[in-house]
Amino acid sequence: MVVGDFPIEIDTLVIGAGPGGYVAAIRAAQTGQKVTIVDKGALGGVCLNVGCIPSKALIQAGHRYEEAHGAEEMGITAENVKVDFSKVQNWKNSVVNKLTSGVEGLLKGNKVDIVKGEVYFVDQNTVRVMDETSSQTYIFNNCIIATGSTPIEIPTFKYSKRILDSTGALNLKEVPKRLVVIGGGYVGTELGTAYANFGTEVTILEGMDDILGGFEKDMSAIVKKRLKKKNVKVVTKAMAKASVETEDSVKVTYEANGKEETIETDYVLVTVGRYPNTREIGLEELGIEMTDRGVVKIDKQCRTNLDNIYAIGDIVEGPPLAHKASYEGKIAAEAIAGHKSEIDYRGIPAVVFSDPELATVGYTEKEAKEQGYNVKSAKFPFAANGRALSLGSGDGFVRLVTREEDGLVIGAQIAGTNASDMISELSLAIESGMTAEDLALTIHAHPTLGEITMEAAEVIMGTPIHVVK
């Protein structure tokens, strides 16, 4: 191994080039800092390469294939619809490549030095960066750790040719005839739905009493209704116990309702959560405070117990959301620059690209009451919206949660087509301190799905037009 002769001195070191790290590096550079970003993998991290972006591309391709079969209720029929899955994968990969090359251009355009290698902390101001042939020492004033997370592996379902994590499921060479998904959270539901749209016989095994546990039951119920139409079998309170893999299949044994069952499948997708990548980089030796799960403890500026080292994204408390990591990256970079920026998660939405989509922001009605609020909530159905009906997407609703005394919007949930886009207006409403009256008085274009938000606000105020009071 060749060792660098002299240490390189920099203002800020960013470890990890995912949606948290590369955003942090760019914002730090914009504030005048000399920045180096290090990652052992591809720029863009899990999100751009094997997560958010390729999964949404695959989901969209699945929707297109499903839609290509026609809509008899609209008088449209189609025959001999085929899918060339190798071309689907090539298209998906082209989307990924455009974005990752774009990230590289953004970093270089902001004069961020890009280094590939693995990092190990020597002390509070020094790291060693190693690749296969060399080692280089960097001395920094400040450091932002954004190393992300890794899928959890079940001991009885070791990853292999036919037992896959989300990365493996995204890179299959063919559309499987059968797929068992262990875990009915957002990843399992999204990818299970995508393959069901391609015609795969999908079974979802969920250990809890419902899929999509982070969302309210009236939201997940709409998704389950659609899954049933796609012939997806959902088994709740199911414990996956064992697997026997052959050359061309896997036998899965699980227990549900006190009874042991066996199912044979082409592939198994394991999506039971992720663990933070905080091991083997020297954090414990450095004295960084972490929880028993390996989650790094931070303050409101993303600062660890060592005042020049910051942590963001999946390695800190909170849901593993790309946009949360990006947000925290900006906060950390600005804190290093001496700004008074602090994290405030009130307006951060969570989205599942299921069918239909689900989105939530702020408090649910139950959470608001538990926090001591007197609340008023109301929902407006997609079925009463002209644009939704013209799209053939009448399932779902927008629900607003407001403070009873003044109508302040403190939460919202959307189940329905384009929920992922619609939630941003409600995130803005919470962030800006808007009331239901503010939303109701905002003129929304007609006919659009956005009108549903306005109509829900009118229901809260007791002046609905398109539903009977």
Percentage of the residues of the chain whose pLDDT score is greater than 70: 99
| Residue 394 contacts residue 415 (beta carbons within 8 Å) | no
Indicate if 147 and 287 belong to the same structural domain. yes
Residues 217 and 286 in one domain: no
87 is in an annotated binding site: no
Residue labelled with tokens 């549900």: 256
Give the count of domains, the chain: 3
The domain boundary residue, chosen from 248, 272, 296: 272
Catalytic residue among 63, 339, 446, 466: 446
Q: Token pair for residue 265?
A: 């499948």
Q: Is 411 annotated as a binding residue?
A: no
Phi, psi dihedral angles at 461 (to 5 degrees): -80, -10
- pTM for the structure as a whole: 0.95
**In angstroms, how far is the first alpha carbon of the chain from the final one?**
75
Judgement on whether residues 11 and 120 belong to the same structural domain of the protein: yes
Residue 407 annotated as part of some ligand binding site: no
pLDDT digits (tens, 9 = 90+) for 222-272: 999 999 999 999 999 999 999 999 999 999 999 998 999 999 999 999 999
Domain membership flag for residue 466: no
d(CA 331, CA 469): 44
pLDDT, tens digit, 9 for 90 and up, residues 377-426: 999 999 999 999 999 999 999 999 999 999 999 999 999 999 999 999 99
- On whether 149 is known to bind a ligand per the annotation, the reply is yes
Assess whether 87 and 105 both reside in one domain. Answer: yes
Tell whether 17 and 87 lie within a shared domain: yes
Q: 185: annotated binding-site residue?
A: yes
Mean pLDDT, residues 193-199 taken together? 97
Is there a single domain that holds both residue 245 and residue 383?
A: no
Per-residue pLDDT at 5 exceeds 70: no
Q: What is the residue range of 421's domain? A: 356-461
Residue 229 lies in a domain: yes
446 is catalytic: yes
Position 74 scores a pLDDT of: 92
Residue 7 falls inside a structural domain: yes
For residue 210, pLDDT beyond 90: yes
User: Is residue 144 located within the same domain as residue 281?
Assistant: yes
Q: Which of 300, 324, 345 is the last residue of a domain?
A: 345
- Please check if 183 is assigned to a binding site: yes
Per-residue pLDDT reduced to its tens digit, 128-179: 999 988 999 999 999 999 999 999 999 999 999 999 999 999 999 999 999 9
What residues are paired with 250 via a beta bridge?
245, 265
Does a structural domain hold residue 381?
yes
Instruction: Give the per-residue pLDDT at 1.
Output: 39
166 marked among binding-site residues = no
Of the residues 249, 272, 295, the one at which a domain ends:
272
**Does residue 158 belong to any structural domain of this protein?**
no
Q: Is 361 annotated as a binding residue?
A: no
334/455 same-domain check: no
pLDDT by residue (tens digit) across 21-40? 999 999 999 999 999 999 99
pLDDT digits (tens, 9 = 90+) for 98-118: 999 999 999 999 999 999 999
| 226 contact partners, CB below 8 Å, separation of at least 6 | 193, 354, 355, 356, 395
Q: How far apart are CA 25 and CA 281, in angstroms?
A: 20
3-state secondary structure the chain: CEECCCCEEEEEEEECCCCCHHHHHHHHHHCCCCEEEEECCCCCHHHHHHCHHHHHHHHHHHHHHHHHCEEHHHCEECCCCCCCHHHHHHHHHHHHHHHHHHHHHHHHHCCCEEEECEEEEEECCEEEEECCCEEEEEEEEEEEECCCEEECCECCECCCCCEECHHHHHCCCCCCCEEEEECCCHHHHHHHHHHHHCCCEEEEECCCCCCCCCCCHHHHHHHHHHHHHCCCEEECCEEEEEEEECCCCEEEEEEECCEEEEEEECEEEECCCEEECCCCCCHHHHCCCECCCCCECCCCCCECCCCCEEECHHHECCCCCHHHHHHHHHHHHHHHCCCCCCCCHHHCCEEECCCCCEEEEECCHHHHHHCCCCEEEEEEEHHHCHHHHHCCCCCCEEEEEEECCCCEEEEEEEECCCHHHHHHHHHHHHHHCCEHHHHHHCCCCCCCCCHHHHHHHHHHHCCCCCCCC
For residue 263, give both structure tokens. 């199912």
Whether residue 190 is found in the same domain as residue 102? no
187 annotated to bind ligand:
yes
> Is 206 one of the annotated binding-site residues?
yes
Q: Please indicate, yes or no, whether residues 259 and 295 belong to a single structural domain of this protein.
A: no
pLDDT recorded at residue 132: 87
Please give the Cα distance from 412 to 431 (Å, whole number). 12
The annotation status of 100 as a binding-site residue, yes or no, is no
Q: Record the tokens describing residue 287, joined without a space.
A: 């004295």
d(CA 400, CA 421): 16
With respect to residue 156, please indicate whether it lies within any of the assigned structural domains: no
- 390 in a structural domain: yes
Has residue 43 been placed in a domain?
yes
CATH number at residue 457: 3.30.390.30
My answer on whether 78 and 94 are in the same domain is yes
Q: Tell me the torsion sign for CA atoms 23, 24, 25, 31.
A: positive
Is the same domain home to 20 and 132?
A: yes
CATH of the domain at 244: 3.50.50.60
What is the pLDDT at residue 448?
A: 98
